[in-house]
Amino acid sequence: MPAGSADRILVINPNASVSCTGGIAAALAPFAAPGLPRIEVTRLEDGPPAIVTWRDWYGVAEPLCRRIEAEPALAYIIGCVSDPGVEAARMATDRPVLGMLRCAIAAALARGERFGIIGFMETSRPRQRRVLQAMGVEDRMAGFEPLNIPMEGLTDPVAPRARLQQAARSLAAQGAEVVVLGCAGMAGHVAAAEDAAGVPVIEPCQAAGAQALLAVLSGWATGLRTAA
């Protein structure tokens, strides 16, 4: 293990939602195992209730950088599926900094040629499109179906289910071979979405957790410091 580093992967939810943060932690709980770095989930207590607008997206970049500089970890995950502040955060540390959307799209393209995204809000579309363009995969998106449900409703175990399943079915009908849940607040609805879509569903918290573990373990195996 690199000297001076905490034995953990730190997930930082850039919004202040307690329910969303709890959902991220629950999604990542199955990754706990002897010999693996522990995964800790925290939030920006002074962050917005959700990342809804470009102002929210840009506004959390500096607080994320400060949190990373103050909190040693083997790797960091930005706990929002529009990857706010990822580029800036990578300047604040030499450890891996992973965005949930980038990880989810990579996982989706390992399962199929075309993917669809169940979006949080319609206003999420341009921010997520920007990530897809940066990855060079925008033309492989079959569709985008926003739920337009506030965060505290989205994290309810029952309330958003019918709308989410409708969106999943619509994306499959549009040709999506894989469906990506486009918000960390949807983490508790994977099974419902998969049942409706009939195709694999990628949960971004787990996709990012898996990639972070891979980055850390690969560094340990080679005896090198983990680097982005």
The CATH number linked to 87 is: 3.40.50.12500
Cα angle at 159 between 107 and 59, to 5 degrees? 60
For residue 119, pLDDT over 80 is answered with yes
- Beta strands in 30-140, from DSSP E residues, in sequence order: 38-43, 75-78, 97-99, 115-119
Q: Can you tell me the mean pLDDT for 191-204?
A: 96
Check: CB of residue 143 under 8 Å from CB of residue 166: no
12 within a domain of the structure (yes/no)? yes
pLDDT tens digits for 48-107?
Answer: 999 999 999 999 999 999 999 999 999 999 999 999 999 999 999 999 999 999 999 999
Average confidence (pLDDT) over 33-46: 95
> Is residue 228 in a domain?
no
pTM: 0.92
pLDDT in tens, 132-155: 999 999 999 999 999 999 998 999
Within-domain flag for 72? yes
Judged against a pLDDT cut of 80, whether residue 1 lies above it is answered with no
Do 173 and 110 reside in the same domain of the chain? yes
On whether residue 20 sits in a domain, the answer given is yes
* Nearest residue to 174 (alpha-carbon basis) of 143, 195, 140, 196: 143
pLDDT interval class at 219 (50, 70, 90): confident
| Whether 65 contacts 59, CB under 8 Å | no
DSSP 185-203: GGGGGHHHHHHHHSS-EE-
Question: Do 174 and 195 fall into the same domain?
Answer: yes
What total number of domains does the chain contain?
A: 2
- Indicate whether 130 belongs to any domain: yes
124 falls within a domain = yes
Question: What is the tally of helices (H) and strands (E) in the chain?
Answer: 10, 8
Please indicate, yes or no, if residue 95 is contained in any of the structural domains. yes
Verify that 195 and 116 share a domain, yes or no: yes
**Cβ atoms 79, 11 nearer than 8 A:** yes
Q: Is residue 227 part of a domain?
A: no
- What is the structure's pLDDT at 6? 75
Range of the domain at 127: 102-203
Half-sphere exposure of 53 (CA within 13 A, CB side): 6
How many angstroms separate the CA atoms of 111 and 92, rounded? 33
Residue 223 pLDDT? 63
Q: Are residues 198 and 209 in the same domain?
A: no
Centroid of chain to Cα 182: 8
pLDDT of residue 227: 40
